[in-house]
Amino acid sequence: MKKIPDKNGRFGIYGGKFAPETLMAPIEQLQNAYFTIGKSSEFKKELNYYLKFYAGRPTPLYFAKDFSQYIGCHVYLKREDLAFTGSHKINNTLGQVLLAKKMGKTRIIAEKGAGEHGVATAAAAALFKLECEIYMGEVDVQRQSLNVYRMKLLGAKVNCVKSGSKTLKDAINEALRDWISSFKTTHYVIGSVVGFHPFPVMVRDFQSVIGRETKKQILKAEKRLPDYLVACVGGGSNSLGLFHPFYNYKNVKFIGVEAAGKGLDTDYHSATLCKGSPGILHGSFSYILQDNDGQIHPTHSISAGLDYPGTGPEHSFYKDSGRAEYHAMTDQQVLNAFHLLSELEGIIPALESAHAVSYLIENKKRFNPDDIIVVCLSGRGDKDVGEVARIEGVSL
């Protein structure tokens, strides 16, 4: 079998390195470091130590008994919500920040929209004693004062970006500008399987701990591999983390679930793989949401972590080759899943993760009683409780 990606970071026709000349030096340096230091057994041993004793891995693979009965087959939840800082993001930030330290970097930068990436980066930087600055749009700073304070508690400096729409994409632009002038001392931690090579493969590898653990755990519990793996897709890192270690097991079907927002026939969704077309965004060729002139289309989702107009190139490759199928669930269907899982299992899922749960609820008839399904519960819902109360008109 051909290796994906190839040495140029191509997943079939997707991926690559569409970066300005000024970024080629840091990108090559990172690529060399990742494929030497990052692949060494000492590095892996040290990272595994922190994944275990700092982040709390392995996370449980939990048999959701009542939810299984409701769906009519065997449903297991991979509990990334129980990883430290509340989502799978920590798997990647520990890996990248440790690598940066080994490269002799003294400073970390990252951008933060609204997911958990900023806090997970600040935590890893505090742990490994690197300076940390997080770029965040002014609109997001105002919307998330508690998260801003959390990052500051962890010793990070939060830079409020006042340009453009003052949200995630402007924060990314500022972080890239910083990196161009600071890469000798600084590593830029990207939070998903997006961006130029080597980020998509590196982040996938760091997140693959999810799938490797799942394989062992399901073999122990059921004595066979699952029939379906289901995960939400924003940039695509928790899904690839679960899927990738099963890539060669063709009987294990992959289902990625995007955000249909207010509906796929409206302008208010983030369903890049379901509704987008190939183009270039943030240094990589992949499906993106764009208009006829190639301008990036605004996105919407009830869950901030899925609200992104691009997706990882490996997903685009899986889509075209048929290795995975992609669906999208609406905000309303997701809210329903959020409540149902909370009531049936006593587990409040992140709104992102509730997209994956919702696919099962709306497609119950597809599954047979003997089917085994693993759902990636990418994060905990505590961060979303206030927002759900607001949407549903509950006064707190």
Ligand X SMILES: *Cc1c(COP(=O)(O)O)cnc(C)c1O
Would you tell me which residues interact with ligand X (CB under 6 A)?
87, 89, 115-116, 192, 232-238, 305-306, 350, 352-353, 378-379
Q: Least separation, in Å, of the C-beta of 350 and ligand X?
A: 4
CA 328/CA 339 separation, integer angstroms: 19
- Residues annotated as catalytic (active site), given as ranges: 89, 111, 378
Residue closer to ligand X, measured from CB, 73 or 349: 349
Residue closer to ligand X, measured from CB, 74 or 197: 197
Q: Least separation, in Å, of the C-beta of 220 and ligand X?
A: 25
For 52, phi then psi, to 5°, come to -80, -55
9: which 2 tokens? 């970071």
Q: Least separation, in Å, of the C-beta of 313 and ligand X?
A: 13
Answer for the pair 176, 23: CB distance below 8 angstroms, yes or no. Answer: yes
Closest CA to 23 of 199, 160, 154: 199
256: which 2 tokens? 């990625």
CA 214/CA 378 separation, integer angstroms: 13
Nearest residue by C-beta to ligand X? 379
Residue closer to ligand X, measured from CB, 186 or 378: 378
CA 193/CA 216 separation, integer angstroms: 24
Q: Least separation, in Å, of the C-beta of 261 and ligand X?
A: 15
CA 288/CA 18 separation, integer angstroms: 15
Residue closer to ligand X, measured from CB, 116 or 133: 116
Q: Least separation, in Å, of the C-beta of 238 and ligand X?
A: 3
CA 241/CA 281 separation, integer angstroms: 22
Cis peptide before 200 (omega within 30 of 0): no
Residue closer to ligand X, measured from CB, 9 or 234: 234
Residue closer to ligand X, measured from CB, 233 or 348: 233
Residue closer to ligand X, measured from CB, 201 or 306: 306
Q: Least separation, in Å, of the C-beta of 190 and ligand X?
A: 10
Checking DSSP bridges between strand 324-330 and strand 284-288, what pairing results, if any?
A: unpaired
Sheet bearing 284-288, strands edge to edge: 10-11, 14-15, 284-288, 277-281
Beta-ladder partners of 267: none
The kind and range of the H/E element at 280 are strand 277-281
Amino acid at 301: S
Burial 344-377 (b: 16+ CB within 10 A, else e): ebebbbbbbbbbbbbbbbeeeeebeeebbbbbbb
Answer for the pair 305, 234: CB distance below 8 angstroms, yes or no. Answer: yes
Q: What is the DSSP letter of 382?
A: G
Q: Least separation, in Å, of the C-beta of 81 and ligand X?
A: 8
| 13 HSE (CA, 13 A, CB side) | 9
